[in-house]
Structures are given as C-alpha cells and as structure tokens.
Amino acid sequence: MQRTFFVFRTSEKERFTMKTLMLGNEAVARGLYEAGCAVVSSYPGTPSTEITEAAAKYPEIYAEWAPNEKVAMETAFGASLAGKRSFCGMKHVGLNVAADPLFTIAYTGVNAGMIIGVADDAGMHSSQNEQDSRHYAKAAKLPMLEPADSAEGLAFAKAAYELSERFDTPVLLKMCTRVSHSQSVVETGERVEPAPVPYEKKAAKYIMMPGNAKQRHPVVEQRTQDLIAYAETTTLNRVEEGTDHKIGIITSSTSYQYVKEVCGDKYPVLKLGMIWPLPEQKIRDFAASVDLLTVVEELDGFIEEHCRNLGLALAGKDYFSPIGELSQNLVAEKLGVVPDAGKALDEHIPPRPPVMCAGCPHRGLFYTLNKLKLTVLGDIGCYTLGAVAPLSAIDSTICMGASVSGLHGFLKASGGEMDSRTVAVIGDSTFMHSGITGLVNIAYNESNATVIILDNSITGMTGHQQNPTTGFNLKGDPCTKIDLESLCRAVGIRRVRVVDPYDLGECESVIKEELAAPEASVIISRRPCALLKYVKHKAPLTVDTSKCVGCKACMRIGCPAISVRDGKAGVDVTLCVGCGVCQQLCKFDALQAPREV
C-alpha cells in the first residue's frame, strides 16, 4: 500500500509534488500513469500482480485481467496499434506463454509506446522454476530496462515509453521479487498524456507474412545497433566512482543494492539499468580502469557472457552461484568484505511449509483422490498443495494447462489400462488460462479422460483476483460470467458433473462413476475459497475428549486447525470454519458442531 509522507513545492514550476514510500510494483504503476498509459492488460502472477492492481486505481487507465499472458500481450499491442500507450504485465513463466506474439511484435514495432512488464522470482518463492527473463530480451532482440528500486521503477517506466516510441519497439521492463515487493522513496509527478498517435494502414509493417517479415528483419538488426549506441551514453547506465580500483563491479537490479550495502563507495561500480542491449565501449573503458573486473548478478551469467565475448577477463559465476538469490552476506563473503550488518538470527526458526488453509474446499477432494489411490496430474494454483503430505495426491505439476493435455497423452500411451485410475485437476482460473484447449483435444481425439475442475470462485494463489468465471472484472464491476458447465459441453464433453468438495461421500461416488464411464467427462468441484469475505462460515467444531480415542483419523486431511496433544485431538477455534470434513472421518463422533441455543 502506498504511504504518503510530505509535500514540497518545486521552485521552477511552482506546483506541488510528493515524496512517498511505494512498493516497486506500485511505483511502476505510478510511472505508467504519469507517462500517460491508457490500456493495461495482464494476467496475475507473483511477483508482478500488484503493478496491474495499482494501475487499475487510476481512473484514466483502462485496466483488465486477461485470460492468459498471450492474450494480455496481444491486447496491449492492439492498444498500441490504435495509438495509445499500453502495458501488459506477467511473471517470468507467463512470458513463456506470451512468447509467440513477443517475437513477432519485435519485428512489427509499435505505433504508440508499449511496455511488457516481467517479474522474475529468483529463489522460487512462488514459482516452479528459476528462469532468467533477460534471455528473452536477447533472443527477441528487444530492449530491456531493469530497475533497482522503486524510484527507478517509476522513472524507468516513463523512460521505457520514450525508448519505445523513439526506436519503434516494445520495451521489456524487468522486475524481480525483491524490487517488486520492497518499499523505497519515490517522488511522484503529474500525468502527462501524449496525443494519440493516428493509426495508419501499413501492411508491410504490421502484416507479418513471410515476404513482409523478411523486409522487417534488417530493420530489427539496425535497431539493435542503434540501441547499442544509445546504451553507451544513456544515463540508465552509469559509473559510480570508488576510492579503491583494485576491484571494479558491474551489476544491476537488486544485486546492485547488495553491492552498495556491502561496499559503499569503496569500489567503482558500473550500474546497468538498460540490461539489453548492453554497451560495449563503456564496459571496456570501465574494465580498463580497474585491476579486477567482477560481475555480480543473480541467476545466469548474462552480463558476464557479454563481457567475456568482448574478450575481458573477469570474476563472475565462478564465485557467485547461478542458483537462488544473492544476499548482502553472500556478496560480502565473495568480495572479501566484512559486512556492517546482516547477522543471522541465533535462535532456530522452525520451517513453515505452505499448507492449504483451514476450510479450503480443495482438501476434501484431494483426500478422496488419495483414498482412491489414483494417479493425479496436477496444475498450477493453490491446489498444487495437494501434493504435500498427508494428502500426497498429485503426481506431476508442470505449467498452467499441462494437467489436462498431459492426462490425454498419459491415457493414449497407456492404451486404456490407466483410464479408470487417472484424473487431471485444474483450477477455474487456470482452466480459462490454458485448460480449455487441452479439453478440446480430449474431446476431439477421444481419450477416456476424467478432468476435475476445482472451482473456488476466484484466482486464489495470487491473492483473490477475478477471472472470467467469477462474474466480476478487475475493478469489481459485474460482467459476463463464463458458465463452466456449458463451456465444457460446448467443446464436446457430454458428461459434466458438479460436486461439493465438503461432501466426501458425494466426491467419492461421483469420481468412481465418471472413471467407470466409457467416455470423457468433467467433474466440477465447486465451493468458494474459504478466505473470500462474502463466505459465511459455520461455528468452529469442538472435541468431545471423552469420545476421542486418539486414532488420528482427523489428521489425515492435513487441516492446520486440527492438532493432537496428550493423545487427544484439539481444534483451534481461531482457524476452524466448521466445514465438517474432519467430522466425516471420525468414527467415534468426537468432533462436534456446537449446539444451537
């Protein structure tokens, strides 16, 4: 959330500006606003989500959640084509989904400015891989800016639009978890809305059939050369002098913050804000001014590779691992500097693995899948936690939509032997993102597949964003609601069932029936997320200790509200929502709902 601090008057224009603390993501959204961005289309993905949520608070910006990142990027391109500045945002794995339009709009260029925001997740705090998005900039031959704090997030967003329009190119703006989700001081300004750029029909520029694309490729190569020349002189890349030239450090993003915390002004630093294309002569000159050139960067040796291609000797990934995040202590250790701060806590902190919330509607469904000993192809969402003990009900998780497509391939390869023992699970938002086409494939190529859509009426994992099945848009306004049952039938699935995941008996009987059916089927497990504000919960359960025999059957669902002490079950009334799933496991009627007075 934005924190307002103090206001001061500028001397030259006599108008008020403001200094405030902002998250990096909020600062980027502010930069979009001040630069006159008109259209924002994104798909939520940590750590990028708040950029779009913050942008939606500005009434001058049209903001939306798209079904997936590919659609978001194509929407942003369409807005640019119409002459308005646009933005699309996603996390690093979302850029994989949007790679198809990415590589082609690199050829077409833009009409009005267009920014593609991507947030990497070094350390995999909420991601299935540790991908380095800088490679996309190099592969697609697009410029990429990389802020190191919130102030740069705002400034770089504005600079990216200028760069986009000056060089006729989409611009990648790369964030990371630490910059996205940390706060620092920014100075806000006024919105300057540029005049719309008139749309002109330019078939050779925008219609990428082979004949036209061949003519655009040389344009892209020349643009890269022009951008390299720009990188040599832009203030986005700056040298910060130091007192000791024994070591010179090239760095960027959050790694720059670690270096400055550890070293201060001791060593000269080449701080790169434009991470692609990289300057050449500027790096050579910097290297010549120090005894030992060192590159400090997270994940891959991207800057290091560029420097080595320039023929420079340096220290880099031979000291700094390509795995996980860096830290102040790690940078200090590798540079041989004694840090002033950054001590580890003395006491042992117990681990807190992620777990489904108390009352999570997915819990009963996964308990049933585990009980039936089924092979379960999983997907991306809160329900991925169904893989964790004691539920242990998921066999694979790859990417959004992979459960549905993977199930089809698994069954085809198994020759019918696994049809009655294998299912796919996918969330409502994820189904809209990438599951539909997999279900079309199941219907079209006729595998005897059972797909379970876990409909919790929200996009839960990334913080309760709306999606096409909820009936509300990004701003919370009522909108078209996609009917999952009708959609599944429309693509050719004749058997569509709806179950309440709190009812273990119903879940088990329906799953058995659909697995036994000689055709494809969809089961919709429907109950709202327990954390939604409008959900009215029942009173917490209590334990009759005289009836509890300590069998621990209630522990098999892994509910954080249930524990066992001194051989008896206990319920944390601050967590329990009275869902009743545990009651169905207790053969001794020890778990009871409070009596109505």
Binding residues for [4Fe-4S] cluster: 548, 551, 554, 559, 576, 579, 582, 586
CB 591 within 8 A of CB 547: no
**Residue 154 — left, alpha, or beta (φ > 0 → left; ψ -120 to 50 → alpha)?**
alpha
First to last CA, the chain: 43
Helix (H, G, I), strand (E, B) or coil at 576: coil
Strands 39-42 and 422-427, bridge-based pairing: unpaired
Annotated binding site: 548, 551, 554, 559, 576, 579, 582, 586
* Residue labelled with tokens 């950054």: 342
Instruction: Provide, for the chain, the percentages of residues in helix, strand and coil under a 3-state DSSP scheme, each rounded to the nearest 5.
Output: 35, 20, 45
Beta bridge partners of 172: 116, 144
In terms of Cα–Cα distance, which of 125, 153, 548 is closest to 354? 125
Interatomic CA distance for residues 252 and 145, integer angstroms: 10
543-549, long-range: CB within 8 Å, 24+ apart, which pairs? Answer: 543/568, 543/569, 543/570, 543/571, 543/590, 543/591, 543/592, 544/589, 544/590, 544/591, 544/592, 545/590, 547/588, 547/589, 547/590, 548/588, 548/590, 549/588, 549/590
The DSSP 8-state label assigned to residue 195 in this structure reads: P
CB 512 within 8 A of CB 376: no
CA dihedral 535, 498, 406, 529 (to 10 degrees): 0
